[in-house]
Structure 1
């Protein structure tokens, strides 16, 4: 076979699709020559399309970078003359790039236009069924036929119902407790029912008002100085110092329940952990310092959710050691054992030291590893292609994990072995290959190393269906503290921080269990002073039942 025949017999690759094989030796010379010329034209067109695509990509990249410069430039640092020159140059460059982009696009074949989807009508969410309905009937005054020649009574054939949402602002009311006094004039004996205990003995607030004040402060993040004028609109004078006193007394009542909640959290074999800074006021120095709230939650897959917070003055390893290591008398609790899901913060290394705590395992958060690639995938740099491919692989892993949400731990573990484990194995091989092709010290190398160096802990969940793939649950429980700090600015004292941790632990756990935090806190504050101490666990959010 001649060299030309062998070359003509090779399939022509266009992208990933090969042209059909043609045996040129079986064709007449004229037909073979015609096919050869057609193949050359196809190759030339393919090269032209590839060149044009590269040019389009380059121009689009330069235009996007220009926009970032244009809108991200710190023009306030320039003089007026410099700013004018900068804006003129930007306008010229943008016009040049747009002209080149239009010229390149003009030569491309016009893609077929997809039929326009009909505009979607916004669907209003149905109002909750549990809300009280106040009906307003609207009927014609005269139900006789308006036709003068008829005038007979009309028949009702149906109705249209329109619902509008309304609200009555918080209404204060007064409980009057009247204690009758009874006397025996013969024996000179007086009998009267003892006063009912309340959150603040001898004070004016009932448990509902104390709960409302605490929910406003710790759930809605309304500082006391803003609650005062809100209450004043109803004619009730509540100075901020009074509101703070009520909350302090309520927090003290809840401390035994907080300890019960802490023990309940530690009874779970899989825990999520995270920490966040909060500003703490130092009155003597006239400024704030950085304190920390440590959050601990039962596993995402646990049927009884719950969270507990600890307010600490630092971020050192002594704080998780103290929480997980077990407290001394009167608790006499053993050290916690199980799987701890965290990020790669070194403060957790001491509590997960296998030599000291062989009964503990470390599981790392996949969402943290994914974020490194997510940041790079939007950077427009040379590493973005690798990061984008990594994001596709992360998407497949999370898609498989999402399908297992409603399973019990054993079924989830088996399903992960079948669905997720092959994706993780393939991802590891791909990451190790990419690591050999990227320079040391680059951002993409750091992202790959972050995952590979912790691969065992990242994939621990594949062998344990009770372990979540990431730590997003506890990060969601940290957010109320960040939102609160924007409103109340700082924690006034270490004691105030500890009190906030007590209240937040209970109300956030109530929300995790689908409870109305005000209804829960009001009932608990009304009952806790007379509730038997050995049955205190009945008031925990996951077991609470209103009376």
Structure 2
């Protein structure tokens, strides 16, 4: 049978019933196939629209989650050293990791959507800040067209230009500086004249001040051991063995000793110090000893002091009382610290230089209660113990005291005392009465009794801040100063010797003091090492971090 090409022509039907039935069956099968194809196309279109809607909803939900996490991280950063430092420290890393995962997943989905569909729209991102002005610009001009791509005419005139900026990293550049000293002979008296040899930061030094500052800062500021630095330099084609680097570190530490002495004198001239210590493993014969790094921080900014902040570090083999007695043997003032008994010799009224005034840290007091009221930590440890209502009540009362204290930061001591007598004293007195009442209801073995006794037995030293505006509520300044050692010892595992620990303490004094004064430690060390060998002893104070200014650092701050 032939199908007519013109639909207006009459359709010839077969006369045989069997052939006629076969024709109708074929026509029906064709219509059913066409209908199934249309239905399949419609289902595919509906599924694609549903997937697109789900993707849009998922993107919207993910963007909302990213915005929420960013807000939470900023909030916790502001609260990190406030009333809830434990909560902030606990949650901040988790939120940042969750934000990182959300951002990475969102970008992966966006790239996949763009590759699979030309109609996909990129997700909205926050407006990027312009790159700092102090960065050098390399201008790459693409070749201009020689003729019009439309008509082929060569009569082109420039209308302007669009500039796309890309941030790039140039690998570290090594160079050898050759200092040439020419010799001249006098024809009249035959005297030979020559410029003196340049000063080096270290005796027989062959390492420039910038490289030496990099080695020091990476070892003591970034906690990168010398063997790792040596391996990295070798990959860059520079052979600097560990023994060579160690020799330079020892020489540089000795060269910087005069500045360390000036910083130590400045710290020990303070009216009030923050004191604390942390463990540092020190290599011994066939084992490691648990040594200590001690810090004493001078920071008068909370009570409006104008003297620059500074930090002083010491190292010791153990934690015996003789160490703080020796560190502060000639000092007298207010010591903010924890209730460690090794400081008791400083508080002794029979002390030859006079007793040191003790001021305890409310963060330590709060921490004992917070550990019993932290629901998240209990769930993470799988503990079934219920949250202590007494501990929770103590945390809330102490947090109210922290809230008042944040309002008077930076005021003069007199203003702080006046504000504390008006607003903080009623809270402190109420807390003492409440803790005593709760303690009477508890047995000796009650868990919450320990932090209550810790506070009540030392109540006078906790309440000392009500009568002295120079005293801070917490000892967080010293704890922040030790954070680098707490994190760094995971990288370098142990100090190589007692002298190595002393060297680390000396360099930490320089680096942390620079940080406290908002100075780039590496840039400061490079400039100091370039100048310290030639500068007169009387002008050494010019090199102290609070007297030193670097134009590049100022430009970065302005940017």
Normalised by the size of structure 1, how large is the TM-score? 0.70
Contact 2:346 2:355 in 1 (8 A): no
Following superposition, the deviation at residue 157 of structure 1 comes to 9.9
* 1:332-371 pair list within 5 angstroms: 335-356=330-351, 358-371=354-367
Distance 1:370 1:293 in 2: 24
Residues 433-477 of structure 1 deviation map (CA, whole Å, 9 limit, x = unaligned): 211222222111111111111222112222222221111111111
Q: How far does residue 490 in structure 1 lie from its aligned partner after superposition?
A: 1.1
Contact conserved, 2:203 with 2:251, CA < 8 A, in 1? no
Instruction: Give the match's secondary structure for 1:459.
Output: helix
Please say if 1:309 is aligned against 2:304.
no
2:420 matches 1:416: yes
Q: 1:443 to 1:124 in 2, by over 3 A?
A: farther
Residues 365-401 of structure 1: per-residue CA shift (max 9 Å, x gap): 1100000111000256456111112221122111111
> Which of 399, 402, 407 is equivalent to 1:403?
407
CA distance in 1, matches of 2:258, 2:543: 11
Q: In 1, Cα distance between the equivalents of 2:220 and 2:291?
A: 18
Q: Contact 1:365–1:469 (CA<8 Å) still a contact in 2?
A: yes
Contact 1:281 1:493 in 2 (8 A): yes
- C-alpha change, 1:383 and 1:456, in structure 2 (3 Å) is farther
Alpha-carbon distance in structure 1 between the residues aligned to 2:142 and 2:372:
64
Residue by residue over 1:204-260, the C-alpha shift from the partner in whole angstroms, topping out at 9 and shown as x without a partner, is 201111111111101111111111121123321111111111101000111122111
Q: How big is each residue's C-alpha offset from its partner over 1:55-90, in whole Å with a ceiling of 9 and x where there is no partner? A: xxxxxxxxxxxxxxxxxxxxxxxxxxxxxxxxxxxx
How many Å separate the matches in 2 of 1:261 and 1:223? 26
Match of 1:249 in 2: 251
Task: Tell me which protein shows more helix as a share of its residues.
Answer: 2
What is the total number of aligned residue pairs between the two structures?
Answer: 414
Q: 1:338 offset after TM fit, Å?
A: 0.9
Q: Secondary structure at the match of 1:341?
A: strand
Map of 1:434 onto structure 2: 438
1:126 paired residue number: 129
Partner of 1:289: 289
Distance 2:354 2:277 in 1: 24
Q: Distance in 2 between matches of 1:157 and 1:188?
A: 66
Q: Superposed, which structure 2 residues align to 1:92-241 within 5 Å?
A: 123=126, 126=129, 129-132=132-135, 134=137, 164-241=166-243
Structure-2-length-normalised TM-score: 0.68
> Which of residues 388, 391, 400 in structure 2 aligns to 1:384?
388
Aligned pair 1:516/2:520, yes or no? yes
Relative to structure 1, the CA distance from residue 442 to residue 408 in structure 2 (aligned partners, 3 Å threshold; closer, same or farther) is: same
Please say if residues 335 and 359 of structure 2, whose CA atoms lie closer than 8 Å, have aligned partners that are also in contact: yes
Say what the alpha-carbon RMSD is for the aligned residues: 2.9
Q: Distance in 2 between matches of 1:494 and 1:340?
A: 27
| Distance verdict in 2 for CA 1:128–1:410, change over 3 Å | farther
Contact residue 254 and residue 502 of structure 1 kept, 8 A? no
Gapped regions of structure 1 (runs ≥ 5): 1-119, 326-334
Give the whole-Å Cα distance in 1 for the aligned partners of 2:130 and 2:222.
22
Q: 1:534, CA displacement in angstroms?
A: 3.0
Given the superposition, is the C-alpha separation of residues 140 and 305 from structure 1 closer, same or farther in structure 2, using an over 3 Å criterion?
Answer: same
Where 1:220 maps in the other structure, the secondary structure is: coil
Question: Which residue matches 1:29?
Answer: none
Contact 2:202 2:255 in 1 (8 A): no
Report if the CA contact (8 A) 1:383-1:444 is conserved.
Answer: no
455-464 or 236-245, which moves further after superposition? 455-464
**CA contact under 8 A between 1:413 and 1:464: conserved in structure 2?**
yes
Cα 1:489/1:384, change in 2 over 3 Å: same
Tell me if structure 1 keeps the 8 A contact 2:220–2:507.
Answer: yes
Residue of structure 1 equivalent to 2:450: 446
Shift of 1:361: 0.8
Partner Cα separation in structure 1 for residue 275 and residue 248 of structure 2 = 31
CA separation of 1:184 and 1:133: change in aligned 2, threshold 3 A: closer
Post-superposition CA distance 1:396-449 (Å, at most 9, x none) = 111111122232333223222223222222222221221122222211111111
- 8 A contact 1:370–1:394 mirrored in 2: yes
C-alpha separation in 1, matches of 2:219 and 2:444 = 49
Distance 2:159 2:365 in 1: 65
In structure 2, runs of 5+ residues without a counterpart are 1-122, 379-383, 552-559
Which of 462, 469, 492 is matched with 1:465 structurally? 469
**Aligned mates of 2:309, 2:536 — CA distance in 1:** 24
Paired residues of 1:273 and 1:474 also in contact (CA < 8 A)? yes
State which drifts further: 294-303 or 438-447: 294-303
